[in-house]
Structure 1
Amino acid sequence: MNSFSLTQSLEFEEGGEIQNTHQLEIAGEEHAIEEEKAFSERRVSSVRDGGSDKDLEVGTDAQQTDEEEQTAELHDPNIVGWEGDEDPANPMNWSATMKWTMTGIVSLITFIVPLASSMFAPGVTQVTEEFHVSNTMLEELVVSIYILGLAFGPLLLAPLSEVYGRWVIYTVSNIFYTVMTIACAVSSDMSMLIVWRFLAGCAGSSPLAIGAGTIADLFPIHQRGLALSFYALGPIVGPGIGPVVGGFLAEAKGWRWIFWLLTIMSGAITVAQIAFMKETYAVTLLARKTKRLQKSTGNLQLRSKLDSGIPAREILIRAIIRPAKLTLLSPISILLSITAAFIYGILYLLLTTFPLVFEAQYGFSIGISGLTYIGLAVGNTAGLFIFSMTSDRYVSRRAAQGKLKPEDRLFPYFLVAGPLIAGGLFWYGWTAQAKTLWIAPIVGSALVGLGNMLFFMPVMGYLVDAFTVYAASAVAANTVLRSVGGALLPLAAESMYASLNYGWGNSLLAFLTLAFSPALIALYLYGERIRLRYPVKV
């Protein structure tokens, strides 16, 4: 069994005392790098038990010392941990109903927020007419500025969740998101709408920032793929479904009703989140348990097993700078973030230009042009189904063989994702330019959607599995650059199509997509070697 599979299996067999990536961050950040390097050099028969700040040493003497520390910790009456492997307070031991209820709520929040990014797109022409705006750059900006908000929000919300827990971050951000959406609905000019859209994106980014962490709190690695599939449904499928609803709603009731509908949905899910979700972050749960015991027993020497002794302010500062360090210093994080930014940018370029293409080329109305997004939605759904039905099975089989490594999340999806996206872009662009039957470019967009899902789903699983203690920061770094790409690339759409038309314009994007493919395949083949050679200490 290699380092990854041994570490992960022991991590969850120990009753979940260190059950997710964020807990390991608190328990001993620098230790994780040393642990992974030591395991890669030789196999050892013992790993540290949850929460120790001591670096793992290889050798008999080190094993004995480690075991002695574990034994002393187990018998230390002042250490507060879980009450055995089956402790019902441990989120890993919650019922399947509770776990999937919470996963469903997080997934719904994660669906509504990206839905809002594109649902507004078909109504932009109504906004420009009402506010007498003729600047086409502002038309594209009022849609994409929301994505920019989604980029910046996680930089603050993810670190705050490591200090105050998950539940409070979900609650506060959901309430603010609902308020900001109301503000969008009552905006009186374009500048006001742009500002409120940006703030709504910032407030609504909490599930993108900490949703993967919540799933890691609840599910062991061999169950995580299916849960991540539901969680990732929103960011990938939501932007494809949004315009379908938004197009008909804008045509029937006007663009403001798009935001009123979003307000109703976000308000309802906020109530459900407050009522039915519970705190899942073990560091916060054990800290609360420690305080209760201190109060009831009067013993102020009690301390949580996951308490690193680091002040909250220091934890917050470290967590804030960590995504930036990973973005700049980790080759894997850099490659995946840049690729995700480009592919997400392509997705939103298509989302913002579908009305232009189908209204100009095919004479569709606002409502009917919204239906053209169904191709993306169908492709995304197919990709989600393929990943959820195959990923966990393959990972479980590799684990049974003792060969599991994080890169197994990428196979075989990275072999086909790039060519699928590129092929879909070629198909979409040239059929739209030739004004062939309207279904032809929609089929091309479905291929783009399929490729998108087979890229983003493995990336999400890989970042959670590969970066262990730094997974939340890796996801945050990826989310930031991905959202920046989604916000900025669409701004070049009009000038690109004006110069190259739809055929060569989309072909340019397809060629650039293919240029990333060899690097993604190399990541699958050599990712483990790169991770061990370039560890990042933050």
Structure 2
Amino acid sequence: MAASTMAPEDSKVEKGPLNTEKVIEKQPNDAVITESNYSTQESGVIGSQSIKDVEKQRRGHATDVGDHAVCDEERIDWDEPDDPEKPMNWPTGKKARNIIIICYVTFLTPLGSTMFAPAVEDVMEAYRSTNPELASFVVSVFILGYFFGPLFLGPLSELYGRLPVYLTCNVLFTIFNIACAVSNNLGSLIVFRFLAGTFGGCPITLGAGSFGDMIQIDQRGKIIAIWALGPLMGPVIGPVAGGYMGEHLNWRWIFWVLAIAAGVGAVAAFIFQDETYPPIILQRKVKRLQEETGNPNLCSILDTDRRASHVFAYAIIRPIHLFFFSPIVMLFSLYQGVIYGYLYLLFTTFPLVFGNQYHFSQGTVGLAYLGIGAGSIVGLGVAGYASDKIVRRMAKDGGMKPEYRLPPLIPACFLIPTGLFWYGWSAHAHDHWIVPILGTVLIGMGLNVLFMCVATYLIDAYPYYEASATAASTAVRSLIGALLPLAGRRMYATLGLGWGNSLLGFMALAMCPLPWIFFKYGERIRTNPKFQIKW
């Protein structure tokens, strides 16, 4: 297929063999932009367009580095709209195996964040520490690694492709879990947990972008919903398994099991996972055609004029720029961060609440986490089904808008404060243990809908900068998720379970207008010149 952009007026285009275009008399570094595509290319956002138009633009500017093709020679593009090398056109089986592997590691790494939470008292006893903040930090430091990982994993994926980053991080995640298992002091355990989290955050950082490479926009909601279960169900199932392992085996076995499971994922990725990043796939195609034709002047339509160091620097800076200058990215990142912090605050205090107050054993205390898990599954079914259906219905009338991803979140966001009030006051009143757990079911439902809707909204709203928007969201979410739990035990000791959880509930309630505000005014904010991304 011919390139989706056209040469400037002072240039002429000659068709060449191998589906190439040759630009003649083109000035160096001229952006190949027409009047019709200027606003979209410049801003990196989309307004009201058809789903096919959105996908066409996204594939025509697939790289997230904000540059335009500048090669003055023959440029290689996809052969045709249904080019089998294009990830969007892969067979269902090929897409499925990549989706399964990404979802597996996305589930596994958050599993490691909380799997030994029920055994943390054993860890503190083994290392002779009674510091309550340190007890929480040894769990949440894993999430602190999620903050640092996106800062360089996303840019590396833009330089070298998603697959090498996945493969490297899978191996390093395995190695650092082994290091945790053999650590001989609390300091080394904390350091290795941090490094495991740093590289374990790879599928959370890159997963949404990988699905954006492969999945059509009107089918993306259900896949993102399944993928979003990983960061929610992993931390839920982890304490259930870790509690029984810590009770019947030893806390070190928790890390050995994680290392084995991670090793299986690493091997599967080496064998079955494929590169999905379009610029890298086209680069490989160029190299192949250069060898076949002996023409060194061929280059990819997505090649840029920036050196790798510049691309890396811009990719690191752009998430920070998006966070501080895009109200959408900033407010939704903070919203997700606070709620994610609640999740880990609950995870680090469940052993205290259900162990001390309801006298659960170390093994059975893990079952308290299943309420959030059950709610997440229900949220998956509702949000995943509703999201794509709403998008298709609303897009028929006025074209596709990213804001059509938000309607399921408008009512669902109220489930989180409701669940916090329910959980806190029922536990305060010493009601039967099932009553506070039912409150956490509502929290889990709201969490899954929030994560799925925000993830798909950012992908659709910033189709050229999805990796940067996701990195900003993941980093902020992880930083708050790592630090907020440190206050959990002292908050409950000061305010009690009732008012402590009510404080969290009121904060969550104050953020509930955000989905409606962005559904109503999101397009106006995105297209405002003050909030445009120009590099």
Name the TM-score class by shorter chain: 0.7 to 0.9
Q: Which runs of 5+ in 1 are unaligned?
A: 1-16, 18-25, 54-69
- Using the TM superposition, name which of 513-522 and 431-440 deviates more: 513-522
* 2:468 corresponds to which of 466, 470, 473: 473
* Corresponding letter in the other structure for 1:169: V
Aligned to 2:319, what secondary structure does the other structure show?
A: helix
Determine the C-alpha separation between the residues in 1 that align with 2:45 and 2:370.
47
- In the alignment, which residue of structure 2 is the partner of 1:64? none
TM-score by length of 1: 0.87
* Corresponding letter in the other structure for 1:196: F
1:250 aligns with 2:258: no
- In the alignment, which residue of structure 2 is the partner of 1:398? 394
- In the alignment, which residue of structure 1 is the partner of 2:267? 271
* 1:503 corresponds to which of 476, 484, 498: 498
- In the alignment, which residue of structure 2 is the partner of 1:421? 416
- In the alignment, which residue of structure 2 is the partner of 1:514? 509
Shift of 1:176: 0.6
- In the alignment, which residue of structure 1 is the partner of 2:10? none
- Using the TM superposition, name which of 515-524 and 176-185 deviates more: 515-524
Shift of 1:295: 2.3
- In the alignment, which residue of structure 2 is the partner of 1:323? 319
- In the alignment, which residue of structure 2 is the partner of 1:4? none
Shift of 1:38: 9.9
Query: Does the aligned pair in 2 maintain the 1:27–1:308 contact within 8 Å?
Result: no
- In the alignment, which residue of structure 1 is the partner of 2:74? 78
* 1:487 corresponds to which of 479, 482, 488: 482
- In the alignment, which residue of structure 1 is the partner of 2:6? none
Determine the C-alpha separation between the residues in 2 that align with 1:30 and 1:115.
44
1:158 aligns with 2:154: yes
Q: Report the structure, 1 or 2, having the larger helix content.
A: 1
Determine the C-alpha separation between the residues in 2 that align with 1:377 and 1:436.
21
Determine the C-alpha separation between the residues in 1 that align with 2:478 and 2:211.
21
1:337 aligns with 2:345: no
* 2:213 corresponds to which of 217, 239, 248: 217
Determine the C-alpha separation between the residues in 2 that align with 1:362 and 1:90.
55
- In the alignment, which residue of structure 1 is the partner of 2:404? 408
- In the alignment, which residue of structure 2 is the partner of 1:118? 114
* 1:436 corresponds to which of 425, 431, 434: 431
- Using the TM superposition, name which of 159-168 and 84-93 deviates more: 84-93
* Corresponding letter in the other structure for 1:455: L
1:270-311 per-position Cα deviation (integer Å, ceiling 9, x unaligned): 100110011111100111111122223221111111112322
Query: For 1:145-294, what aligned pairs fall within 5 Å after superposition?
Result: 145-294=141-290
Determine the C-alpha separation between the residues in 2 that align with 1:361 and 1:249.
22
* Corresponding letter in the other structure for 1:93: N
- In the alignment, which residue of structure 2 is the partner of 1:105? 101
Query: For 1:30-109, what aligned pairs fall within 5 Å after superposition?
Result: 32=40, 34=42, 51=60, 78-109=74-105
1:523 aligns with 2:518: yes
Query: Does the aligned pair in 2 maintain the 1:32–1:469 contact within 8 Å?
Result: no
1:329-361 per-position Cα deviation (integer Å, ceiling 9, x unaligned): 111111001111110000100011000000111
Query: Does the aligned pair in 2 maintain the 1:36–1:532 contact within 8 Å?
Result: no
Shift of 1:31: 6.2
- In the alignment, which residue of structure 1 is the partner of 2:457? 462
Shift of 1:37: 8.3
* Corresponding letter in the other structure for 2:76: V
Determine the C-alpha separation between the residues in 2 that align with 1:48 and 1:168.
26
1:537 aligns with 2:504: no
Query: Does the aligned pair in 2 maintain the 1:225–1:461 contact within 8 Å?
Result: yes
Determine the C-alpha separation between the residues in 2 that align with 1:526 and 1:208.
28
Determine the C-alpha separation between the residues in 2 that align with 1:433 and 1:414.
29
* Corresponding letter in the other structure for 1:251: E
* Corresponding letter in the other structure for 2:258: L
- Using the TM superposition, name which of 305-314 and 239-248 deviates more: 305-314
Aligned to 1:500, what secondary structure does the other structure show?
A: helix
Aligned to 1:299, what secondary structure does the other structure show?
A: coil
Change over 3 Å in CA distance of 1:156–1:36 after alignment to 2: closer
Shift of 1:36: 7.0
Aligned to 2:467, what secondary structure does the other structure show?
A: helix
Query: Does the aligned pair in 1 maintain the 2:61–2:464 contact within 8 Å?
Result: no
Shift of 1:105: 0.4
TM-score by length of 2: 0.87
Determine the C-alpha separation between the residues in 1 that align with 2:100 and 2:39.
34
Aligned to 2:472, what secondary structure does the other structure show?
A: helix
* Corresponding letter in the other structure for 1:261: V
Change over 3 Å in CA distance of 1:142–1:99 after alignment to 2: same
1:389 aligns with 2:397: no
Query: Does the aligned pair in 1 maintain the 2:341–2:477 contact within 8 Å?
Result: yes
Aligned to 1:366, what secondary structure does the other structure show?
A: coil
Determine the C-alpha separation between the residues in 2 that align with 1:279 and 1:535.
30
Query: Does the aligned pair in 2 maintain the 1:420–1:448 contact within 8 Å?
Result: yes
Shift of 1:27: 9.3
Aligned to 2:498, what secondary structure does the other structure show?
A: helix
- In the alignment, which residue of structure 2 is the partner of 1:20? none
Query: Does the aligned pair in 2 maintain the 1:30–1:537 contact within 8 Å?
Result: no
Determine the C-alpha separation between the residues in 1 that align with 2:57 and 2:171.
41
CA RMSD of aligned residues (A): 2.5
Aligned length: 490
Moved over 3 A (4+): 26-41, 45-53
1:222-247 per-position Cα deviation (integer Å, ceiling 9, x unaligned): 11112112211101221111111111
Change over 3 Å in CA distance of 1:467–1:50 after alignment to 2: closer
Change over 3 Å in CA distance of 1:50–1:408 after alignment to 2: closer
Determine the C-alpha separation between the residues in 2 that align with 1:210 and 1:285.
16
Change over 3 Å in CA distance of 1:86–1:404 after alignment to 2: closer
Query: Does the aligned pair in 2 maintain the 1:114–1:234 contact within 8 Å?
Result: yes
1:144-175 per-position Cα deviation (integer Å, ceiling 9, x unaligned): 00000011101100000000001100011110
Query: For 1:305-384, what aligned pairs fall within 5 Å after superposition?
Result: 305-384=301-380
Query: Does the aligned pair in 1 maintain the 2:46–2:461 contact within 8 Å?
Result: no
Query: Does the aligned pair in 2 maintain the 1:414–1:455 contact within 8 Å?
Result: no
Determine the C-alpha separation between the residues in 2 that align with 1:529 and 1:474.
18
